[in-house]
Amino acid sequence: MSGTDLAADVVIVGAGHGGAQAGIALRQNGFTGTILVVGREPELPYERPPLSKEYLARDKTFDRIMIRPEAFWADKAVTMLLGTEVTALDAAAHVATLSDGRSLHYGHLIWAAGGDPRKLSCAGADLAGVHAVRTREDVDRLMGELDAGARRAVVIGGGYIGLEAAAVLTKLDCHVTLLEALPRVLARVAGEALSAFYEADHRAHGVDLRTGVMVDCLVGEGGKVTGVKLADGSVLPADLVIVGIGIIPCVEPLRAAGAEGSNGVQVDGQCRTSLPDVYAIGDCAAHANAFADGAVIRLESVQNANDMATVAAKTICGVDATYHAVPWFWSNQYDLKLQTVGLSTGHDAVVTRGDPATRSFSVIYLKQGKVVALDCVNMIKDYVQGRKLVETGAVIAPERLADAGTPLKELA
């Protein structure tokens, strides 16, 4: 090694939820070697979900969404190398190349780099005033435009990020138009009943929500976005545009080094990639998931990042561990708290438990008679008790599930 080279027993690439948890879990499981976290952003690890909710709404300041205070990392002897990226990997030599040109030698490497927001492919996508909601910098820039008087917002994408942003912008007295190319919002993650409920609720709050709509291009003046042109030729005036159409996994250095995988990078039950001593966790890690009938999928959730981080850390520490965690997600919109457990993909039957008109109900998804997932809206008890049903693949008669007067724990 040269005098400018760096080295650590474990290098963690990515300072988000997964990277932070990997460092924590290594120490919790007795690891005494050196740990170095390489983070692209200048900030210490912080929570991502509040970016489109409490942080954008200014209900929480940045210090309140830090995963741990600064002193914690020093106390645990976890070194942070921030504002830096890994640009290449020599897997055989166990050496990573950093964006500043230095080499970083590692014993084990945990790749927790997540993903980058997918950009629009149409003309005008790079105009000023076009925003993602992925990092603190993204949201700070967006808030700056709101402070400067931007009030006409167009949100492109009807997934969690788009809907959460639309709810907050409405609260901030913006005129919000939300565009979804598919026939319904949340089409990839929820059933039709839940989609219809959220569409109606956003419209009741004043959002101009349009489904089945295609964007032709973004238009602007002086390099700044002024509108969104639709495929039918109409133009929606816009002071700002938020794009929430998914992420692209950040795995290019791993793929270039020979790691297997097409959608992200593939890992085994211990979160190991095909490269020696290299693990991948979180949004970018494609894995065979028992709650998706063994299909190889990526899960974009805090739960997945944290649970995979713990498995990778335990494996490095010689502790037997296999990834087998029930997926769960949440979303806050207006006064609605949506909590999801399990994966509803491929379900063949749906049971609604409670009355959506009361704004407190659950949707239970079945596949071949088994409970595979629940979407719980302001129904925390169903969410907590329904987890057991998903874990065990419980077979329960739909009419019993639909009886909101009977606690789910009595049906297990």
| Cα distance between residue 275 and residue 86, in whole Å | 16
**SS3 of residue 371 by DSSP:** strand
What architecture is domain 335-410? 2-Layer Sandwich (3.30)
Residue 35: pLDDT over 70: yes
DSSP string, 261-282: -SSSEE--TT-B-SSTTEEE-G
Of 366, 365, 387, 363, the residue nearest 377 (C-alpha): 363
253 pLDDT tier (thresholds 50, 70, 90)? very high
Distance of CA 353 to the CA centre of its chain: 27
Residue 6 CB neighbours (<10 A): 18
**Residue 412: which pLDDT band, with cuts at 50, 70 and 90?**
confident
For residue 2, name the pLDDT band (cuts at 50, 70, 90).
Answer: low
Q: Please state the rounded mean pLDDT for residues 248-253.
A: 97
Joined together, the tokens standing for residue 99 give 């964006």
Residue 337 has a pLDDT of 97
Domains 6-116+247-317 and 119-243 share a fold: yes
Whether the Cβ atoms of residue 244 and residue 165 lie closer than 8 Å to each other: yes
Question: What is the per-residue pLDDT for 3?
Answer: 59
Indicate the class that CATH gives domain 6-116+247-317: alpha beta
Query: What digits encode the pLDDT tens for the residues 86-117?
Result: 999 999 999 999 999 999 999 999 999 999 99
pTM of the predicted model over 0.85:
yes
Domain ranges (residues) in the chain? 6-116+247-317, 119-243, 335-410
- Following DSSP, what letter does each residue of 125-183 receive, concatenated? TTSBTEE--SSHHHHHHHHHHHHTT--EEEEE--SHHHHHHHHHHHHTT-EEEEEESSS
Within 10 A of 296 (CB to CB), how many other CB atoms are there?
Answer: 15
The answer on pLDDT for 55 being more than 70 is yes
pLDDT averaged over every residue in the chain: 96
CA pair distance 385, 354, nearest whole angstrom: 15
Whether the pLDDT of residue 215 is over 70: the answer is yes
pLDDT digits (tens, 9 = 90+) for 160-181: 999 999 999 999 999 999 999 9
Q: What's the Cα-to-Cα distance from 287 to each of 52, 253, 316, 409, rounded to whole Å? A: 27, 19, 18, 30
Instruction: Spell out the residues 6+ positions from residue 221 whose beta carbon is closer than 8 angstroms to its own.
Output: none
- Right CATH for 119-243 from 3.30.870.10, 1.20.1050.10, 3.50.50.60, 3.30.470.10: 3.50.50.60
Q: Where does the pLDDT of residue 343 fall: very low under 50, low under 70, confident under 90, or very high at 90 and above?
A: very high
